[in-house]
Amino acid sequence: MGRAMDPLLRVEDIHKRYGTEEVLRGVSFHLDRGQTKVVIGPSGTGKSTLLRCINRLTEPDRGQVWLEDVEVTAPRVKINEIRSQIGFVFQDFNLFTHLTALDNVRLGLVKVKRLGKKEATARAMEELTRVGLKDKANAYPAHLSGGQQQRVSIARALAMDPKLILFDEPTSALDPELIGEVLNVMAQLAEEGMTMIVVTHEMGFARSVADEIVFMEHGVIVEQGPPEKLFRSPEVARTGEFLRKISELYGAEG
């Protein structure tokens, strides 16, 4: 089988415990190039921990992560190089407070990818334009709205040319009227073939953009499948129950 046929990301039997609390109890899934997986589940279920285990911002206790043919979880792997290939978008943006939007996007290009300043600037402006914030390049994060900050953080991730991007509840910290602009950027990325894992409660987005929905609870995957299947005829009763509850809260319309 050719390499292009292999999944881009393989997560195998990930376990993580904090003290006596087993947060992840054996999570496995595959993700193909260009796919978008939406992860849903009650709060405290280990969704964030799972995302952070993928690029080892959190060290899993057990299990493996493979990015193409590289084992991310191998002991002597060049983890910084791997992290530069995996974008991460945080719930509270985590833009660098002391840097302008442009410098936020440029930092990784200059320090990790070792681009020259001119090249980095051009690359960064390209991504800021892509998220519609070209004219905010010289603004500091404190002078941007939440939606704008999150779009800058998406540009920061995109500039690194990642193989996939992990989104951890990217719209949960936003005022309702600002959620749309961020979801639109993400939908556009999915359209353009970016590979993404998105933890979100936005069921409209999940329904219209996700190739697959993963329902997690208590540190395990309860059920996963195409959105229509999970919404119409879930195999586990609990999946349907959760989807109904969350759709009432957040709305299922795209």
Partner 1 sequence: MTFNFDAGYLPQLASGLVVTLEVTSCCIAIGIVLGILLALGRVYGGRFISVPCSIYIHFFRGTPLLVQLFIVYFGLPNWGIRLSAFESGILALGLNTAAYQAEYFRGAIQAVKAGQMVAARSLGLTRLQAIRHVIIPQALRLVIPPWSNELILMLKYSSIVFSIALYDLMGVGKRIASRHFNYFEVFIVLALMYLVLVLLITLGLRWVERRLRVPGLGTAGRGA
Point out which residues bind partner 1 (CB under 8 A). Answer: 55, 57, 80-88, 90, 92, 94-98, 107-108, 111-112, 140-143, 153, 156, 160
Q: Is 46 a binder of ligand ADP (CB under 6 A)?
A: yes
Q: Which is nearer to partner 1, 74 or 236 (CB)?
A: 74
The interface region with ligand ADP, picked from 44-52, 134-142, 143-151, 170-178 by CB under 6 A, is: 44-52
* CA distances in angstroms from 190 to 1, 96, 139, 142, 198, listed in the order given: 26, 26, 27, 29, 11
Residue from the set 14, 27, 31, 48 that interacts with ligand ADP by CB under 6 A: 48
The smaller minimum CB distance to ligand ADP, of residues 41 and 60, is found at 41
Give the separation between CA 198 and CA 190, rounded to whole angstroms: 11
Least distance CB 135 / partner 1 (angstroms): 17
Dihedral pair phi/psi, residue 253, rounded to 5°: -80, 140
Q: Site size for ligand ADP, by CB under 6 A?
A: 10
Q: Give the separation between CA 84 and CA 238, rounded to whole angstroms.
A: 37
d(CA 37, CA 34): 10
Closest distance to ligand ADP from the beta carbon of 211 (Å): 21
Dihedral of CA atoms 54, 57, 60, 61 in degrees, nearest 10, equals: 170
State the binding partner of 46 from Mg ion, ligand ADP, partner 1, none, CB within 5 to 8 A by kind: ligand ADP
* Complex with ligand ADP: residue 45 or 84, whichever CB lies closer: 45
* Smallest distance from Mg ion to CB 241, Å: 20
Binding span for ligand ADP by CB under 6 A among 46-54, 64-72, 106-114, 205-213: 46-54
Burial class, 85, CB count within 10 angstroms (exposed 0-12 / middle 13-18 / buried 19+) = middle
Question: Residue 49, interface with ligand ADP (CB under 6 A)?
Answer: yes
Does 44 contact ligand ADP by CB under 6 A? yes
